[in-house]
Amino acid sequence: MSASPRFDAVHTANTRKPRQIERILGQDGRPLPVSAIFGMNTFSLDVMEEKLPRPVFKRVTACVKEGAPLETDVADAVAHGVKEWALENGCSHFTHWFQPMTGGTAEKHDAFLTFARDGSAIERFTGAMLIQSEPDASSFPSGGSRTTFEARGYTAWDPSSPMFIRETANGKTLCIPSAFVSYTGEALDKKTPLLRSMQAVDNAAQDLLEALGHERTRVTASLGCEQEYFLVDRAYWALRPDLAIADRTVVGAAPPKGQSLDDHYFGHIAPRVQAYMQDVEQELYKLGVPAKTRHNEVAPGQFELAPVFREANVGVDHNQLIMEVLRRVAIEHDFKVLLHEKPFANINGSGKHNNWSLSTMGENLLEPGKTPNQNLRFLAVLSATLLGVQRYGGLLRASVASHGNDFRLGANEAPPAIMSVFLGEMLTQIFDALEQGDVLPENAEQAVLELGVDNLPTVAKDNTDRNRTSPMAFTGNKFEFRAVGSQQNPAWPCTVLNTIVAEGLKQLTAWIASEGSALKAIKKAVRESSPVRFEGDGYSEEWVTEALNRGLLNLRKTPAALDQLRRDTVIKLFADHDVLTPIEVEGRYNVLVEQYLTQVSIEVDALKIVVDEMILPVSLADRASLADGLGKLLDLKAKGIPVDTGPDVARLKSMSASLTELTRARSALDVAVAEAGHDAHACAAKVVPAAGEVRAAADALEGLVTDSVWPLPKYREMLFLV
């Protein structure tokens, strides 16, 4: 043991070995391939087929694939089947697994254990228990809507997302992906509005398909979330109260190397990290989450995991599981995973790119097709999407608003807070031609040919290159919504995206009817949405000015963004598409504002702890010992011994200046907190900048105080993993 816990942590972190993980072995003692373990802990359609009587299975399939309602007798049969399966696999408990408005997941476990009439113990699980269960809803946020109506809520299985078994050290639990609603049917969670928005976009897309002369067929929104995260060694984490409390370093001077060399992105993955990733993947495979890619990200210590996309509600569940597994497995590898949008200042933040599209059973509607007819449909859906973003860009911005994400959006490293769409060169030419093109032939199919859309499939994918500065980029056959924060539940941004696109599609369908021509309708949509198309550098200052001229919103901070939820047009949009009632919108607004205030106040608390209990005392002591030393030198000087006290005085001076500044900023923070009170706008305007000033002074001291006494692990130590 050295005298410094920090140096001990450095030693510990640098001498750890990659953790050998337990592979699942086959009969022959060799590790099973992924295909053999994939989904082994999910009650998938395959398992259901095996466990359920044929007619029941057919009706369940209809629920899962076509969204048909779940009848009681089917629920009973499924409940019986899943109970057998869960017991065979060693489960003792079940839980409805749901996504309250807090943003995380929640669960309440119940044992299968019940007692028969004769008093003997048996395991029981019925359709009624599967369809709904009653958690005590009172401690989940509702934003006030619950007091207006009904105090109790229930959770109900979402049959389109498979049940799964979660394994923990001493047992297994059957988890039932569920929606959470009040008894009066109000959504109390993130899943219910998502499911409603999927219905809305399905309805609107089917109407459009019909108007275009295509067959009506179910359309689903798809979602694949690329998840970025940081890893830090647990030994460092334990010495950083800010990481423990706020998941983010509220102080810390930039490391000398940082990401300036750009050598981390796609670089060699450190062995310990690779072992962790493999462990995470194995856990995810068991849960049927198709983890596909892993790589280093831009910042040191930053990584990414992306699964293969699924129907949006399953995609959301998968993302929740990914975050849960990342957290759980990290501990076993002596890491802590940081899912916060901005764990380290001056280092890239983390996002969650939401890849999104619309498809029928067999076709991606955002995929340029082979025939002019398919391509007309493609242009229609694409222009309808743009129209939605044009009209509701502010709402889209609001859907990603959080205190954590405020450090990222517009911070010259992440998409700006201005919502625009990147289409790529080829599509831009086509859209420009549509916008201006009075010369296009009346015949839509002919026009599509002339526009050159039929050449798209071959070139579009490579051509829709990497404009990383766009918040919403078309990437060949899907949109990538990049403004989403890394720790956010993607359900809400996806709900908003589905809803605004549903509106775009609905408008387009109406125009087809009124104009009597699909092409004219598309042109109208292209014209109206023209301002939202932007191909240039989204990080540049010029774009901020230009966007303003184009009339686009630039809502830099969360409270301003959240105000969008109070606009009449937004409230009406949600009501028109049966996604949220006005009361539900109001409830969500209240919860989000409250969350913002809480997040800011947690960070302020963390900052106070770190400054008052660690940085100030250590810095004062260090200054005192400098002063002692100087005193001794001056004594010598007085005795006529020639010593140069210049360096000591200079150091003492700069340290004193920094201490004075820290003390000033620290008092100013208290004043700002008191003045802002419970007002989110004031919090953003006063408290957040005041905290920034405290941080700046603390970081200056980090560069002055003797390294061996500095208590907090430094960026240069935490960020580079071996």
Stretches 195-203, 305-313, 440-448, 533-541: which one binds ligand ADP (CB under 6 A)? 305-313
User: How many C-beta atoms surround the C-beta of residue 50 within 10 A?
Assistant: 11
Residue-wise DSSP of 452-471:
TGGGHHHHHHHHS---TT-S
* Number of alpha carbons in the 13 Å side-chain half-sphere of residue 92: 4
How many residues would you count in the chain? 722
CB nearer to ligand ADP: give 319 or 658.
319
CB nearer to ligand ADP: give 505 or 611.
505
**364 contributes a contact to ligand ADP by CB under 6 A:** yes
Stretches 201-209, 222-230, 324-332, 621-629: which one binds ligand ADP (CB under 6 A)? 222-230
Q: Which of 25, 36, 308, 636 binds ligand ADP (CB under 6 A)?
A: 308
CA angle, corner 270, sides to 265 and 275, nearest 5? 120
CA distance 597 to 585: 19
User: How many C-beta atoms surround the C-beta of residue 566 within 10 A?
Assistant: 12
Q: Which of 127, 300, 307, 471 binds ligand ADP (CB under 6 A)?
A: 307
**478 contributes a contact to ligand ADP by CB under 6 A:** yes
**355 contributes a contact to ligand ADP by CB under 6 A:** yes
- The nearest distance, CB 117 to ligand ADP, in angstroms, is 52
**309 contributes a contact to ligand ADP by CB under 6 A:** yes
CA distance 549 to 539: 17
CB nearer to ligand ADP: give 307 or 559.
307
CB nearer to ligand ADP: give 355 or 590.
355
Number of residues near ligand ADP (by CB under 6 A) = 15
Q: Which of 192, 222, 319, 499 binds ligand ADP (CB under 6 A)?
A: 222
Q: What CA–CA distances, in Å, run from 295 to 21, 228, 229, 298, 630?
A: 19, 10, 11, 10, 52
- The nearest distance, CB 296 to ligand ADP, in angstroms, is 15
- The nearest distance, CB 461 to ligand ADP, in angstroms, is 8
CB nearer to ligand ADP: give 208 or 225.
225
**194 contributes a contact to ligand ADP by CB under 6 A:** no
CB nearer to ligand ADP: give 253 or 322.
322
Phi-psi domain of 677 (left: phi exceeds 0; alpha: psi -120 through 50; beta: other): left
Helices (H) and strands (E) in the chain, counts: 28, 16
**Contact string 239-268 vs ligand ADP (x = CB under 6 A):** ------------------------------
Euclidean distance between the first and the last CA atom of the chain, given in angstroms as a whole number: 21
Residues 125-184 that bind ligand ADP (CB under 6 A): none
**361 contributes a contact to ligand ADP by CB under 6 A:** no
- The nearest distance, CB 37 to ligand ADP, in angstroms, is 20
**474 contributes a contact to ligand ADP by CB under 6 A:** no
Burial class (CB in 10 A: 0-12, 13-18, 19+), 640: exposed
Interaxial angle between packed helices 491-515 and 568-576, expressed in degrees from 0 to 180 and rounded to the nearest 10: 80
Burial call 64-99: b when 16+ CB within 10 Å, e when fewer: beeeeebeeebbbbbbbbbbebbeeeebbbbbbbbb
Stretches 54-62, 303-311, 507-515, 565-573: which one binds ligand ADP (CB under 6 A)? 303-311
**227 contributes a contact to ligand ADP by CB under 6 A:** no
Instruction: Select the residue whose beta carbon is closest to ligand ADP and give its number.
Output: 224
Burial call 626-635: b when 16+ CB within 10 Å, e when fewer: beeebeebee
Of the candidates 696, 383, 373, 380, the residue with the CA atom closest to the CA atom of residue 527: 383
What's the sign of the alpha-carbon dihedral 141, 145, 589, 351?
A: positive
**223 contributes a contact to ligand ADP by CB under 6 A:** yes
**671 contributes a contact to ligand ADP by CB under 6 A:** no
Q: Which of 159, 162, 224, 410 binds ligand ADP (CB under 6 A)?
A: 224
Of the candidates 423, 468, 164, the residue with the CA atom closest to the CA atom of residue 286: 164
CA distance 532 to 388: 10
Stretches 120-128, 217-225, 672-680, 696-704: which one binds ligand ADP (CB under 6 A)? 217-225
Stretches 201-209, 221-229, 592-600, 624-632: which one binds ligand ADP (CB under 6 A)? 221-229
Q: Which of 356, 481, 589, 715 binds ligand ADP (CB under 6 A)?
A: 356
User: 210 and 339 in contact (C-beta within 8 Å)?
Assistant: no
CB nearer to ligand ADP: give 480 or 563.
480
Q: Which of 99, 105, 296, 475 binds ligand ADP (CB under 6 A)?
A: 475
CB nearer to ligand ADP: give 223 or 329.
223
- The nearest distance, CB 325 to ligand ADP, in angstroms, is 16
- The nearest distance, CB 38 to ligand ADP, in angstroms, is 16
CB nearer to ligand ADP: give 223 or 669.
223
**357 contributes a contact to ligand ADP by CB under 6 A:** yes
- The nearest distance, CB 417 to ligand ADP, in angstroms, is 22
- 43 residue type, one letter: F
Provide φ and ψ at 314, rounded to 5°: -70, -40
CB nearer to ligand ADP: give 354 or 590.
354
Stretches 181-189, 237-245, 349-357, 575-583: which one binds ligand ADP (CB under 6 A)? 349-357
DSSP-H helix ranges across 477-516: 491-515
**235 contributes a contact to ligand ADP by CB under 6 A:** no
Q: What CA–CA distances, in Å, run from 395 to 103, 153, 188, 344, 566?
A: 18, 28, 20, 28, 10
Q: Which residues bind ligand ADP (CB under 6 A)?
A: 222-224, 226, 306-309, 355-357, 364, 475, 477-478
